[in-house]
Structure 1
Amino acid sequence: GKLVLVTGATRGIGRAVAIGAAAAGAELIITGRTTGALEEVDDAIRAAGSTATIVELDMKDYAAMPRLAAVIHDRWGRLDGFVANAAILAPLTPVTHLTPDNWDESIAVNLTGQWHMIRALDPLLRAAPAGRAILVSSGAAVGSRPVWGPYAAT
């Protein structure tokens, strides 16, 4: 089977992708900020007939990403698929009302964290026979959505 890493796997799209990939026979590596939520997804993956390795990961912990890639390399030697789904939504308010911390966190997680992760995983994806990366985006980036500034920008 294929080995697939899904970030932001504890809710929404990430959870659905992880469970769907498991049902299709993939082995999963799932990341999220809380172990409890990851364990719930792990239970669903097992119910779908597959296995998962859970990794508690904050997308702002850039140093953790090369370490994760090294562990994947040592254990599997490759990564067949990567779904970059993790993101945060800043308060829905005009951008002039956001705090600098709101803005900085959105950029750190939704943009910079994704760059660090794909950079760390690229050699593993290239080591797979047909490695693929899917970076999840949002319609907020292409339409007019008032008060969605940081999310749309990232």
Structure 2
Amino acid sequence: ARTASALEAVESAIFEAGGSATIAPLNLTETDSIARLGAAIGERWPALDIMVLNAAMLGQLSAVPAIDVKEMAQVLTLNISAQAALIAAFDPMLRKSKRARVIGLTSSVARKPRAYWGLY
């Protein structure tokens, strides 16, 4: 989810289905937030069995010469830097798991380029 209210809706649905969840709204483009999240979760649980890297943004579709530099920085931070920060923050917990897995989701664009998707 991209908003706290949407996260709360997911959390409620999980509880209603009999599960448990803990939400932690944060901005993944702020790598300090990721480090704090890793530390907080590490205090609560000793190990992490699975981490799914799924956060990304497309950015404005445009020709490469028209890409906005500020938007490019935001896209690169979320799509690349945040993923590396997540792995670094949770690496100690993943290493404590007997069967840790990190799953990185992506799209087909890397294998099948599309016009005006240069930023992504």
Q: What TM-score do the two structures reach when normalised by structure 1?
A: 0.74
Q: Which is bigger in relative contact order (C-alpha 8 A, separation at least 6)? A: 2
Shift of 1:84: 0.6
* Distance in structure 1 (CA, Å) of the matches to 2:117 and 2:97: 37
Q: Which deviates further from its counterpart, 47-56 or 102-111?
A: 47-56
Q: What is the one-letter code of the residue matched to 1:70? A: A
Q: Which of 1 and 2 has greater Rg? A: 2
Instruction: Show structure 1 runs of 4+ deviating over 2 A.
Output: none
What SS does the aligned partner of 1:92 have? coil
Q: Which runs of 5+ in 1 are unaligned?
A: 1-9, 11-32
Structure 1 residue 38 and structure 2 residue 3: aligned?
A: no
Task: Among all aligned residue pairs of Structure 1 and Structure 2, give the percentage whose two residues are the same amino acid.
Answer: 38
What SS does the aligned partner of 2:102 have? strand
* 1:66-105 mapped onto 2 (5 Å cutoff): 66-105=35-74
Structure 1 residue 138 and structure 2 residue 107: aligned?
A: yes
* Distance in structure 1 (CA, Å) of the matches to 2:56 and 2:69: 18
* Distance in structure 1 (CA, Å) of the matches to 2:117 and 2:20: 36
Shift of 1:116: 0.7
Q: Which runs of 5+ in 2 are unaligned?
A: none
Q: What is the one-letter code of the residue matched to 1:34? A: T
What SS does the aligned partner of 1:83 have? strand
Shift of 1:92: 1.0
